[in-house]
Amino acid sequence: MESTNATWLHRMRQQLQARDAHVASFTPVVDAYNRLLQTCSSLTAENTSLASDYEKLRFDHDKLQRSVQTADGGPMDPLATQQKIADLEWRISTLKDERSELYKTQGQSAQRLLEMTNDIRKQEDRSRRLEEENKQHTTQLAKLQQARDDHFYAMREKDGTIQILQDEMTALQLELVTKEERLKKVEIENSQLVERWLKKMNEEADQMNQANLQLEVVKSNLSSEQIHECLGDENYFGIGRKPSDAGREAAKVPTQVYKELENVHSGENYTLAVSHDGHLVATGGQDKRVKVFDSKTGNHRYTLSGCLQSVLHVAFSPTDDAILAASSDNAVRVWATDTGRLQHTLTGHIGKVVCAQFDGESRKVISGSHDRTIKVWDLYRGYCSKTVFSVSSCNDLCLMDPQGSTIFSGHIDGVLRVWDMRTGNCVREETGLHDGPITSLSLSPDGTTLVTNSRDSTLQLVSIATYDPIMTLSAEGYRPGSNWARAAFSPDGYLVAAGSADGTIYVWNTRTGELETKVKEHT
């Protein structure tokens, strides 16, 4: 492109030089025209002077004739008079000839002046056309230079993108090698697990045989009525009882507003969290503030400040003694619940942080960001202790165990990933769950089921044991409003609730997959 521009500039320069040479060829004509104009002016003045002299001579001639006819001193010499008259006539004839020549010269000068005027007009028109062409070429040159600059910047951006893709390809190749090694280990572990499973099944079969023998003994010692009564009570032999159901009240399906908080934030409300004891509600929004309210009275307790941009996620620690906020300013902040004092500002992400969670002991914070990284923060030391890299931006994460050694993460590419945070490796990727970005993850209270929410307007119940989808939850009109739209289990795990973009809350039954209810109070 640079050689093409140089050739074009050289051609333009040659055309301009040719135009200047052509215009310069008319300089002698213009100079001659100016000299002829001066000569014509001088001849016109001389002609006027000669005409004046002619009139004066005629006057003198007439005067002399009258003087001759009326002379008092007698008649003049005829010869002298004739000689004088002949001289005057000769002079008059000469003046007439000179005047004729002047008229002729003046006519020629006027003709030449007209021709030169036409030539000058033509040259001016041509010069004007050349100037317009020069302006057009100058404009075209500026556009070409701008296009060249745009192509240069685009090329530089593409070079940067290529470099990033090459780095990612290198990382993926390393990850592939690591996964192949891990696959070999998993195959070995799988064979060991199969052996252990077979051994366990044999032990359970032996236990079942012993239980049947005991049941036969019990039947032999009981009457028929007692046996029927015992068999009618499933809990007599422990049948149908789930350990997770003990001591847990059944959740009620919401039907009406319990408490309404108005004008919580000056902008949009982005996130909400309830403390584990149910006494506090924390909200975050566009106004860069975290506000804490009493859940029973709705009274405002205090406001936590320090974020430089919008707050996208808030969460309480397991003991409710701390609150964290993930913000668009690429940082996570932690405050003390009792004093509202800022304890930590965790910086290191290069993209907005959209999710963060405490571990079970409130010693660590795990955060996910749009910079495609997940970071582990040591709250005792106040720095990042581990960073894992993903191929897609993380929208939400949850802990599989209280220590945070295994976590789930949901990503914009619609993939559910499982991470071993002790090694920083991705141990599993579940694709095909959703056709759109995963917006949230929530673990059931018994820790056996994970619910995923997605922009494809569906929720998936996933088994933790097999990572297979158990059930799809959907409803007509349900549509998440953002990439961080959350879904949540009820305390007993029998219900799942999620908010839609139209302001409606949808509640599903996790046992049947049916929509229990939908309530709309938001506008």
Strand ranges for 455-520 from DSSP E: 459-463, 469-473, 487-489, 495-499, 504-509, 515-520
Least-confidence region, from 294-303, 366-375, 452-461: 294-303
- Using one digit for the tens of pLDDT, what is the confidence trace for 406-445? 999 999 999 999 999 999 899 999 998 999 999 999 999 9
Q: 26: which 2 tokens?
A: 């008319």
Average pLDDT of the chain is 84
Distance CA 88, CA 66 (A): 15
What DSSP assignment string belongs to 229-241?
HHHH-GGGTTTT-
Q: 9: which 2 tokens?
A: 């500039």
Distance CA 367, CA 355 (A): 6
Q: How many CA atoms lie within 13 A of 323 on its CB side?
A: 32
Distance CA 354, CA 483 (A): 9
Judged against a pLDDT cut of 60, whether residue 246 lies above it is answered with no
**What pLDDT score does 253 carry?**
85
Q: What percent of the chain has pLDDT over 90?
A: 41
- Using one digit for the tens of pLDDT, what is the confidence trace for 124-135? 888 889 989 999
Judged against a pLDDT cut of 50, whether residue 236 lies above it is answered with no
Judged against a pLDDT cut of 60, whether residue 223 lies above it is answered with no
Check: CB of residue 496 under 8 Å from CB of residue 510. yes
* Residues forming beta bridges with residue 290, ordered by sequence position: 284, 304
- Using one digit for the tens of pLDDT, what is the confidence trace for 166-222? 877 887 888 788 888 888 888 888 888 888 887 887 777 777 777 766 666 655 555
Which carries the bigger pLDDT value, residue 370 or residue 5?
A: 370
* CA 158 to the chain's CA centroid: 16
**What pLDDT score does 240 carry?**
37
Least-confidence region, from 13-17, 133-137, 299-303: 13-17
**What pLDDT score does 438 carry?**
95
Going by pLDDT thresholds of 50, 70 and 90, the confidence category of residue 68 is: low
Judged against a pLDDT cut of 50, whether residue 244 lies above it is answered with no
**What pLDDT score does 243 carry?**
38
Q: Which residue has the tokens 């006057």?
A: 59
**What pLDDT score does 399 carry?**
93
Distance CA 434, CA 352 (A): 24
Going by pLDDT thresholds of 50, 70 and 90, the confidence category of residue 318 is: very high
Torsion from C-alpha of 493, 438, 358, 252, nearest 10 degrees: -20
**What pLDDT score does 457 carry?**
94
Q: Which residue has the tokens 């009564």?
A: 229
Judged against a pLDDT cut of 90, whether residue 60 lies above it is answered with no
Distance CA 81, CA 64 (A): 9
Average pLDDT over residues 290-301: 91
Going by pLDDT thresholds of 50, 70 and 90, the confidence category of residue 245 is: very low
Torsion from C-alpha of 405, 408, 413, 414, nearest 10 degrees: 160
Check: CB of residue 416 under 8 Å from CB of residue 468. no
Judged against a pLDDT cut of 50, whether residue 42 lies above it is answered with yes
Distance CA 130, CA 140 (A): 15
Check: CB of residue 313 under 8 Å from CB of residue 271. yes
Q: 29: which 2 tokens?
A: 């004509």
**What pLDDT score does 37 carry?**
80
Distance CA 361, CA 382 (A): 15
Q: 278: which 2 tokens?
A: 């149910």
| H-assigned helices in 222-266 | 224-232
**What pLDDT score does 34 carry?**
81
Torsion from C-alpha of 159, 173, 397, 332, nearest 10 degrees: -50
* CA 148 to the chain's CA centroid: 24
Average pLDDT over residues 29-58: 80
3-state secondary structure at position 314: strand
Torsion from C-alpha of 195, 200, 202, 207, nearest 10 degrees: 170
Residue 287: closest CA among 244, 237, 327: 327
**What pLDDT score does 247 carry?**
40
**What pLDDT score does 224 carry?**
47
Enter the CATH code of domain 315-520: 2.130.10.10
**What pLDDT score does 430 carry?**
92
Average pLDDT over residues 34-58: 80
- Using one digit for the tens of pLDDT, what is the confidence trace for 263-293? 788 888 889 999 999 899 999 999 999 999 9
**What pLDDT score does 199 carry?**
80
**What pLDDT score does 75 carry?**
53
Distance CA 369, CA 313 (A): 11
Q: Which residue has the tokens 């969670």?
A: 357
Going by pLDDT thresholds of 50, 70 and 90, the confidence category of residue 239 is: very low
Distance CA 254, CA 442 (A): 19
Going by pLDDT thresholds of 50, 70 and 90, the confidence category of residue 322 is: very high
Check: CB of residue 288 under 8 Å from CB of residue 299. no
The pTM of this model reads 0.54
**What pLDDT score does 449 carry?**
94
Average pLDDT over residues 55-64: 77
Distance CA 148, CA 159 (A): 16
Distance CA 439, CA 203 (A): 43
Q: 130: which 2 tokens?
A: 């050349």
Average pLDDT over residues 142-155: 90
Q: CB within 8 A of 452, min separation 6: which ones?
A: 410, 416, 433, 434, 438, 440, 441, 459, 460, 462, 487
Q: Which H helix or E strand runs over 429?
A: strand 425-430
Q: What percent of the chain has pLDDT over 70?
A: 89
